[in-house]
Amino acid sequence: MNYNRVQGANNRIVLGLIGCGGMGAANMRNLMGKQGVEVAALCDVDTSRMTGDIRDVEKKYGRKPELFKDYRKMLERKDIDAIIVGTPDHWHALNLIHTVEAGKDSYCEKPISHNFVEARSMANAVAYHKKIVQVGTWQRSGKEFTDAISFVRAGKLGSKIVMARAWRTDGSKVGNDRPSAVPASLDYDMWIGPAKMVPYKSNHVHGNWRWFMNTGTGMTGDWGVHMLDIALLGLSPNNEDLAMPTSVSAYGGKLAYPTDDRTAPDTVEAIFKFENPDVVMTWSTGRDYANRPDCGVEWVGADGRCVRCWRGGWSVHEANGEPMDKEESPAVNDHWQNWLDGVRTRQQTRSSLASMAKTTMVCHMANIAYLSGETVRFDRSKMDLVGKAGKNTTSYFREYRKPYTLPIYK
Ligand SMILES: NC(=O)c1ccc[n+]([C@@H]2O[C@H](COP(=O)([O-])OP(=O)(O)OC[C@H]3O[C@@H](n4cnc5c(N)ncnc54)[C@H](O)[C@@H]3O)[C@@H](O)[C@H]2O)c1
C-alpha cells in the first residue's frame, strides 16, 4: 500500500473489488458510505454481476470504475491501496496472497480459505508482507456478541467453563440440474480457477457454490466460521490468542436431502476436545432446532449456568433455566470502519487474518474429520495436523488445477 499517500491531505483509501456478487457488493456499499473512501475498479468473471455496482459507483463518484475480468490486471494499478475479496471460497487464497504480494491491504470474505493448508499459507503471507486484513466475520463487531463474550471472559459465568456449543440450521437445497451451455456473460474456466473442472450446471455457480465441496466448505465453513468463531472467542483471552482444539471428530451426511446435487453434508455433528483448560465444544448443523434460534452459541459453566447468544440477542441463565442479570459492555465501532482505521493506523483489526486463519482451520478440521471418518489431532506448535489422519482429504489440501499454483508461505 502507498502509505504516504493515504496519510496525505485527504487520508483517502482507494479500493478495488474482486467478486461483485452478493457480499462483495454489500461490503463495497458499506465502505462507500465511509469518509475518505473511493472505489476505483471492479473485477468479476461474470459481466452480468457487475451492472448494479457500476451504476452505484458512477452515481457516487460521477465517473465509471475501471472494469476487469482478470484480478491480476487490477492488482497492477499502483493507485489502488486495498482490495475487497468477495469471491467464492475456492478463490480466496490466490486472490488474497496476490493482493498482499502487490503491496495492498484487504477486506477478505470468510471462511478465509477452501482448505487448511491454504489458510496457513495465507496467514504467513499476510504476516510476511505486513498487511492489514480484516476478515468479513462482522459478528465480532456485533453488540450482542461482544457483550456475551465480554461477560464470559470476565468470569461472570463462573471461573470454569466446561462446554461450548455452536449451531446453525441448514435448510439449503440446490435441487438437481443437468450440464448446460455456459451463459455468454460468464468466463466459466476462470470462475472454476484452481478448483477441479466440472461441467457447467446453473445450480453450481453463483451463491450455490458453497454447497459443493469443490468450491465451498458447506455449512461448517460458511456459518461455522461465524458461530464457532464466537464460541472460540469466549474460550480465549482475546481475539488473537484463540483456544485451539487438540482433537476433532465429526459425523453426518446428506441425510435430509440424499438426492440433491449438493456434495456438502446437510447434517453434521462435530466434537472438539480442548486441553488446558479441559473444555468440549460442539458444532451442529441440521434441519431444525426447536426452542432455540436458528443460529447460536452457548457456553456452559461448571455449575450449569449458561450464556447464550445469537444474531439479534443474548441471555444468561441459571442451571434451572431461569434468566439471570446481564451486564453490557461498551459498543465498538462497526466492522468496516474498524478495518479503515487499521489501514490508516497500521493497527491490528478486530477480525485479523491471523486470528481468522485459526477459526477457519477449526472449521476445516471438522470437515476433514467428516470426510475422512478419522479423529484428527492438531498440534498448535506446528499449526498442523498430527500424523496422516485426514491429510488425504481436499479440506486439508488439494493440488490446484493447472496452470494455478498456491504460493506456500512458511
Ligand atoms: N460475512 C458475511 O456475512 C457473508 C455473507 C454472505 C457471503 N459471504 C462470503 O462472501 C463471499 C462471496 O459470497 P456470495 O454469496 O456473495 O457469492 P456470489 O456467488 O454471489 O458472488 C461471488 C462473485 O465472485 C465472482 N467471481 C468468481 N470467481 C472470480 C474471479 N476469479 N475473479 C473475479 N470474480 C470472481 C462471481 O462471478 C460472483 O459474481 C464468500 O466467501 C462468502 O462466504 C460472507
> Would you say residue 269 has pLDDT above 50?
yes
**How many helical (H) and strand (E) elements, i.e. helices and strands, does the chain have?**
12, 15
CB distance 251 to 317 below 8 Å: no
With 60 as the cut, is the pLDDT of residue 126 above it? yes
DSSP assignments along 170-220, one per residue: -----------PPPTTB-HHHHHTTS------GGGSTTGGGGSTTT--HHH
Q: Is the pLDDT of residue 6 over 60?
A: no
Q: Which pLDDT tens digit goes with each residue over 310-335? A: 999 999 999 999 999 999 999 999 99
Answer whether residue 115 shows pLDDT above 50. Answer: yes
Q: Whose CA is nearest to atom 38 of ligand 1?
A: 21
**Per-residue pLDDT for 178 more than 90?**
yes
Ligand 1 centroid from CA 128, angstroms = 26
In the predicted structure, residue 287 carries a pLDDT above the cut 50:
yes
Starting at the edge strand that comes first in sequence, how are the strands of the sheet with 82-85 ordered?
Answer: 66-68, 37-43, 13-18, 82-85, 105-108, 133-135
How confident is the model over 254-270, as a mean pLDDT?
97
The three grid cell numbers given for residue 372, joined into one nine-digit string = 475422512
Instruction: Please give the pLDDT value at position 176.
Output: 98
Q: What mean pLDDT, rounded, does the chain reach?
A: 95
Q: Provide the percentage of residues in the chain whose pLDDT is more than 70.
A: 98
Distance CA(40)–CA(149), nearest Å, equals 37
Rounded Cα–Cα distance for residues 257 and 268 (Å): 13
Distance (angstroms) between ligand 1 centre and the Cα of 355 equals 21
Burial of 53 (0-12, 13-18, 19+ CB in 10 A): buried
Residue 24 · residue 41 · CB < 8 Å: no
Q: Which atom of ligand 1 is nearest to the CA of 186?
A: 37
Rounded to two decimals, the pTM is 0.97
Angle in degrees, CA 177, 182, 187, rounded to 5: 130
Q: Quote the percentage of the chain above a pLDDT of 90.
A: 94
Ligand 1 center to 237 CA (angstroms): 32
pLDDT at 2 over 70: no
What superfamily would CATH give domain 140-329+360-385?
A: Dihydrodipicolinate Reductase; domain 2 (3.30.360.10)
Question: What is the rounded distance in angstroms from the CA atom of residue 155 to the CA atom of residue 145?
Answer: 16
CA of 86 to the centre of ligand 1 (A): 4
The CATH code for residues 3-138+336-352 is 3.40.50.720
Q: What is the mean pLDDT of residues 208-220?
A: 98
Indicate the top mutation candidate among 27, 29, 42, 45 to test ligand 1's pocket, ranked by most ligand atoms within 8 A of CB: 45
Tell me: pLDDT of 4 over 50. Answer: no
For a mutational test of ligand 1's pocket, the pick from 23, 91, 210, i.e. the residue with the most ligand atoms closer than 8 A to its C-beta, is 23
The model's pLDDT over 132-172, given as tens digits with 9 standing for 90+, comes to 999 999 999 999 999 999 999 999 998 799 999 999 999 89
Ligand 1 closest atom vs CA 190: 31
> 362: CA distance to ligand 1 center in Å?
21
**CA nearest ligand 1 atom 8, residue:** 23
Tell me, what's the pLDDT at 1?
43
Cis peptide before 199 (omega within 30 of 0): no
Question: Does pLDDT of 376 surpass 90?
Answer: yes
- Mean pLDDT, to the nearest integer, of 247-251? 98
Average pLDDT over residues 322-349: 95
Of the candidate ranges 10-19, 286-295, 357-366, the one whose mean pLDDT is the lowest: 286-295
User: Ligand 1 atom closest to Cα of 18?
Assistant: 33
Asked if residues 323 and 204 have their Cβ atoms less than 8 Å apart, the reply is: no
Q: Whose CA is nearest to atom 43 of ligand 1?
A: 110
Instruction: Return the residue whose CA atom lies nearest to atom 4 of ligand 1.
Output: 23
Q: Write down the pLDDT at residue 10.
A: 58
| CA–CA gap between residue 303 and residue 54 (Å, rounded) | 56
List all residues whose CB is within 6 A of at least one atom of ligand 1: 18-24, 43-46, 49, 71, 86-89, 91, 109-110, 136, 138, 190-191, 193, 206-207, 209, 222
Alpha carbons 299 and 319: distance in angstroms, whole number: 12
Ligand 1 binding pocket mutation candidate from 18, 28, 42, 44 (most atoms within 8 A of CB): 44
Mean pLDDT of 401-408: 98
With 60 as the cut, is the pLDDT of residue 7 above it? Answer: no
Res 277: pLDDT: 85
Ligand 1 center to 171 CA (angstroms): 20
DSSP assigned state of 13: E
Q: Which three cell numbers stand for residue 309?
A: 447468544
Protein residue whose Cα sits closest to atom 40 of ligand 1: 88
- Give residue limits of the domains in the chain: 3-138+336-352, 140-329+360-385
In this structure, the residue with its CA closest to atom 7 of ligand 1 is 23
Distance between Cα 102 and ligand 1 center (Å): 21
- At 231 the pLDDT is 98
Q: Which of 72, 128, 39, 152 has the alpha carbon at shortest distance from 353? A: 128
Q: Is the peptide bond before 277 cis (omega within 30 degrees of 0)?
A: yes
Q: Which atom of ligand 1 is nearest to the CA of 24?
A: 16
